[in-house]
Each structure stands twice: as structure tokens, then as C-alpha cells.
Amino acid sequence: MQFGLVVFGLAVLAASAADDPSQLIAARVVMGVGAAFIMPSTLSIIIHSFPFHERPKAIAMWAGFAGVGGALGPISSGLLLEHFWWGSIFFINVPLVVLLLLLTWRIVPTSKDPSGHPLDLVGAGLAMAGVVSLVFAIIEGPEKGWTDPITVGAFAIAVVLLVAFVRWELHHDTPMLDPRLFRLPGFAGGSAAVTLAFFSMFSMFFLLTQYLQFVKGYSPLGAGLRVLPNAVAMIVIAPRRPASPPASVCAGSCARASCSPPSPSPCSPPPPTRRPTSW
């Protein structure tokens, strides 16, 4: 997590000083790399920091505040753009990253895989390249045309790479993501629900802020204030989670290859002992 914070902090600093779009795009790419190290580690920290009976509420709060961040972004960006230069929307993250580094160093416990499985670098590379090719095709399709050779070629490359990713994960001893986990209804349903929820939520924020500014004529701050009710609703609703832990988290603790838990799941109750067990 600290590595991701450092990468993200350096990237936002570079973005705030960018002179042309190519520099800004490159900095944004590096931001994504840093964020990819940060977000998964937060769930790992929750599993290691909260006892069993508190994890469902902690995970619900985690999901809620992830959405709140998307809702508060337009407000803070609008406020900064009305009073400072455009790079301030990136530079504001620098002191936050420094604060988080200090807090994680002092407060957050170390969490890592006790079995020490090696990283699946080939699987990660195939997945990343496949998704990049797919996103490139979707972005270029409306401009170049969906039947343009570049668009069709990008889609074809994405299919080949993602199929290769699935085949590699099925035969690798320590896969990054075992595709057989999707045979579990809880894992498949939970993953689909989270994906669709975040897809619809951030699509709404992306389109709504542009509609409010370019069609309705509101300022950046005014547009941000008008999506604020979404953040309030998420803060109120997020803690109201079901009695059982999220299915996607429980199912994700299954074995990499056989999909059967070789050890107690993080969502399973602690084994009975004479003293309470801290998980």
C-alpha cells in the first residue's frame, strides 16, 4: 500500500505541472498504476484489522466511501477550479498522500499472504494488455468507426489476450485469479453486482457533471453541488449491510485451483476456543 501511495503521489505531482495533454495522459496512467496497488490492499487490511463480527460492516463502509469519493470529486474539483489553477485538482492530493503515508506507517498493521505465493506476472501482463486493447477499441470506435481496421484489430487483440489469460490462469500453479472461482454462484453474483454498481455509478457521475455544465450552464462548483445528494445517500445506506458478509469476499477466499477452502475463510467464524480469537 505504501508503495502505491508513493507512486500515486509522484504521479499527481507530475500531473499538476504538466504542460501538454501527452504529459497529463502519461501521468494519469501512472496514477492508475499506483491506485491499483492501493485499493486491493485496503481490503486485505480490513480482513486483518477487524474481528469476524465487524468485517461485514467494515466492508460495507469501505464500499460506501469508495462511492462517496466519486461523488465528492466534482465538488472539490469545482471549488479548486474557481479559485486556483487547473493543476490544483491534482496537487491537492500531494499533502493527502503524505498524511496517509504517515498514518499507515504508524497505525495500519502489516498484512501479507503467510504462504508466500509468488506473483503471477504473466497473468497480470496478459490481463493488463487485454484490457488496454479493449478500452482502446471502445474509445476509438465512435471516432474511427466500428468497422475500421484499427478498431476491429484492437478488439481482436483484446479477445486473443483475454482468452490467453484465462487459459494461463487455468494451468498455472498460483494464478492471480482462478477462473474456476466463477463457478461459485456467490462469487460470480457478487462480482457481477459490484462491477455493475460501480460501472453505473461512475458513468452517471461522468455524464451528469458534463450535462450540468455544458447543457445547463452551471459552473464546475455548481455542478458538483448538484451531485452531492448521491454522496449523502451512500454514507447513509452503506452501513446498512445484510447480516452475512458479502458473497464475493467469502467466495474469494477459496482455494486457487480446486475452489475449496484449504484453510479457514476470512468470512468464516473463528474456530471455537476457550478465549475469543482475534482474526
Q: Quick check: 257 and 178 in contact, CB under 8 A?
A: yes
What's the CA gap between 35 and 70, in Å, rounded?
14
243 in any annotated domain:
yes
Inside any domain, residue 264: no
User: What is the number of other CB atoms lying within 10 angstroms of the CB of residue 248?
Assistant: 20
50-64, 181-195, 232-246, 248-262: least confidently modelled range? 248-262
d(CA 151, CA 144): 7
Residue 129 lies in a domain: no
- Span 117-139, pLDDT tens digits: 777 889 889 998 999 999 999 98
Placement of cell 487459459 in the chain: 167
**Between residues 113 and 276, the one the model is more confident about:** 113
**pLDDT attached to residue 255:** 37
Considering only 44-58, 80-94, 108-122, 153-167, which range has the smallest mean pLDDT? 108-122
Establish if 209 belongs to a structural domain.
Answer: yes
pTM assigned to the model: 0.64
**Mean predicted confidence (pLDDT) in 181-205:** 82
pLDDT at 171 over 70: yes
Distance CA 73, CA 90 (A): 11
Residue 136 lies in a domain: no
164 falls in which pLDDT band (50, 70, 90)? very high
Q: Give the model confidence (pLDDT) of 8-39 as tens digits.
A: 889 999 988 888 888 888 998 898 888 888 87
- 58 in any annotated domain: yes
Q: Total domain count for the chain?
A: 1
- Asked if residues 104 and 41 have their Cβ atoms less than 8 Å apart, the reply is no
* Within-domain flag for 132: no
**pLDDT higher for 122 or 2?**
122
Mean pLDDT of the chain: 78
DSSP of 61-123, one letter per residue?
HHHHHHHHHHHHHHHHHHHHHHHS-TTHHHHTHHHHHHHHHHHHHHTPPP---TT-PPP-HHH
**Boundaries of domain holding 197:** 2-108+176-251
Percent above pLDDT 70 for the chain: 80
* Three cell numbers written together for 144: 474511427
- Would 257 be classed as within a structural domain? no
- The whole-angstrom separation of Cα 153 and Cα 141 is 11
